[in-house]
Every structure is written in C-alpha cells, then in structure tokens.
Amino acid sequence: MPEKDVSQVLSEKGQEIKKMFKEFDATLEQWKFSVEDNKDGTIVEIHARALIKKKGK
C-alpha cells in the first residue's frame, strides 16, 4: 500500500468518524496526544476513548 501524507489520512479518518458519531450520543472520556523524538524521526501518538450510546436512549 502506498504511503499517504499524514494530514490527508487524518482528514479522511476524521470525516469518517464525524459521520459515524452523527447517529450517536458520545462523551469523550479520555484523550491523549504525545510527541516523541527519536533517532529515526518524530513519533506522534493520538488516542481517544469515548462512551457511545444510540441517540434517544
């Protein structure tokens, strides 16, 4: 699989997630964003945890 620019991938995945959450009530419970430099480059970690319920329940 060819590599894509990270900003393009995040934008695409963000749109997918946004569409999915329109059907649900979601509460963000935990969020983590970290940046670490190492000898090969910079590692970025993004982690989100949400409680999701169907709307109207």
Cα dist from 30 to 5, 11, 54, whole Å:
26, 21, 20
Please tell me the predicted confidence (pLDDT) of residue 34: 95
Please tell me the predicted confidence (pLDDT) of residue 55: 80
Examine residue 13 and state whether it is found in any structural domain, yes or no: yes
* Domains in the chain, number: 1
Domain encompassing residue 16: 6-54
Phi-psi region for residue 10, left (φ > 0), alpha (ψ -120 to 50) or beta?
alpha
Query: Is this structure's pTM higher than 0.85?
Result: no
Q: How confident is the model at residue 10 (pLDDT cuts 50, 70, 90)?
A: confident
Q: Is the distance from CB of 31 to CB of 46 less than 8 angstroms?
A: no
Please tell me the predicted confidence (pLDDT) of residue 24: 86
Examine residue 37 and state whether it is found in any structural domain, yes or no: yes
Tell which wins on pLDDT, 57 or 37.
37
Examine residue 33 and state whether it is found in any structural domain, yes or no: yes
Please tell me the predicted confidence (pLDDT) of residue 39: 94
Could you give the angle at the alpha carbon of 7 between the alpha carbons of 30 and 26, nearest 5°?
Answer: 30
* pLDDT above 70 (res 13): yes
Examine residue 1 and state whether it is found in any structural domain, yes or no: no
